[in-house]
């Protein structure tokens, strides 16, 4: 049975992020939903770093895995894929905020500057205010409760502790040379994310799917489970062929 490894992004952990995906794929695949360090049910952490999490994830990847990452988890998945390219069977990224790949795009450059500004001057002592500002910036349609639940507050504090994804250096050439197929998913709602996905599609010779209507939570789109199932099946066939 093929194994799909799901990596969540910022704020919410693996369970809430991938619930609908697991529900629809668990009868056909082994689905591993990861909870990254700093997120419930684990303890809080003082710093979240995509490079550290990429190496943490690399230790968990088995030969033949299909790696799927959303948002910050997509950045981690890209970095991990470059570390374990000999083990992966496929890679899927949903709107990774790796702005460094597309800074010649004005919308992407502005998005990166806005992120750096928020992390430097935003309300870091107020997790709810910081979270709401962040959600607007990334085009999320999620409306958090007030006050935040304990799980969301921990997620917001992990967000504040993140190393900015604009600092990530994605090894595009190494990933392009890797033999496994790549899939890039966009929510078709945000010029910066579209610009990033355009570059990843082009530079990695990746398949590209746009799934509008769910903002930055494109992984919740009802077409994602059948899309992943088809992509994984084709990737498995290519490797066995």
Q: What is the DSSP string of 63-76?
A: TTEEEEEETHHHHH
**Torsion angle in degrees (nearest 10) through CA of 177, 182, 186, 190:** -10
Structure confidence at residue 239 as a pLDDT band (50, 70, 90): low
- The verdict on whether omega for the bond into residue 41 sits within 30 degrees of 0, i.e. cis, is yes
What's the pLDDT tens digit per position in 171-219?
999 999 999 999 999 999 999 999 999 999 999 999 999 999 999 999 9
Closest C-alpha to 107, from 154, 139, 79: 139
Q: Hey, what long-range contacts does 237-240 have (CB within 8 A, 24 or more apart)?
A: 238/181, 239/64, 239/89, 239/180
Tell me if residue 126 falls in helix, strand or coil.
coil
For 138, half-sphere exposure in the C-beta direction (CA atoms, 13 angstrom radius) is 31
pLDDT recorded at residue 156: 98
What's the pLDDT tens digit per position in 84-141?
999 999 999 999 999 999 999 999 999 999 999 999 999 999 999 999 999 999 999 8
Question: What mean pLDDT, rounded, does the chain reach?
Answer: 97
- Provide the token pair at 122: 């935003």
For 65, half-sphere exposure in the C-beta direction (CA atoms, 13 angstrom radius) is 24
Residue 65 scores a pLDDT above 60:
yes
Give Cα separations from 137 to 44, 91, 99 (angstroms).
24, 26, 14
Q: How far apart are CA 95 and CA 195, in angstroms?
A: 10
C-beta separation of 81 from 67 below 8 A: yes
pLDDT recorded at residue 241: 43
Q: Which residue bears the tokens 């084709």?
A: 234
The residue extents of the domains of the chain are 3-240
pLDDT recorded at residue 238: 60
Give Cα separations from 133 to 124, 144, 146, 183 (angstroms).
11, 11, 14, 29
3-240 architecture in CATH?
3-Layer(aba) Sandwich (3.40)
Residues 6+ apart with CB under 8 A from 68: 4, 5, 6, 7, 77, 91, 92, 93, 94, 228
Closest C-alpha to 160, from 211, 196, 126: 126
- Provide the token pair at 105: 């795009």
């Amino acid at each position: 049975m093929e194994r799909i490894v799901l990596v969540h992004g910022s704020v919410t952990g693996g369970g809430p992020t991938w619930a609908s995906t697991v529900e629809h794929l668990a009868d056909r695949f082994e689905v591993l939903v990861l909870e990254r360090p700093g997120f419930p049910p684990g303890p809080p952490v003082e710093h979240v770093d995509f490079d550290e999490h990429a190496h943490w994830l690399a230790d968990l990847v088995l030969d033949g895995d299909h790696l799927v990452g959303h948002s910050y988890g997509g950045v981690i998945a890209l970095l991990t894929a470059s570390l374990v390219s000999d083990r992966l069977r496929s890679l899927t990224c949903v709107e990774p905020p790796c702005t460094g790949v597309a800074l010649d795009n004005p919308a992407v450059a502005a998005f990166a500057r806005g992120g750096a500004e928020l992390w430097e001057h935003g309300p870091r002592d107020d997790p709810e205010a910081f979270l709401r500002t962040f959600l607007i910036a990334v085009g999320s349609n999620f409306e958090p409760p007030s006050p935040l639940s304990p799980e969301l507050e921990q997620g917001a504090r992990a967000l504040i502790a993140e190393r900015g994804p604009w600092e990530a250096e994605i090894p595009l050439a190494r990933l392009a040379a890797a033999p496994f197929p790549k899939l890039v998913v966009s929510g078709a709602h945000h010029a910066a994310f579209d610009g990033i996905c355009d570059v990843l599609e082009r530079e990695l010779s990746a398949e590209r799917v746009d799934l509008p209507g769910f903002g930055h939570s494109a992984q919740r789109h009802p077409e994602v489970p059948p899309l992943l199932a088809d992509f994984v099946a084709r990737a498995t066939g290519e490797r066995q062929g």
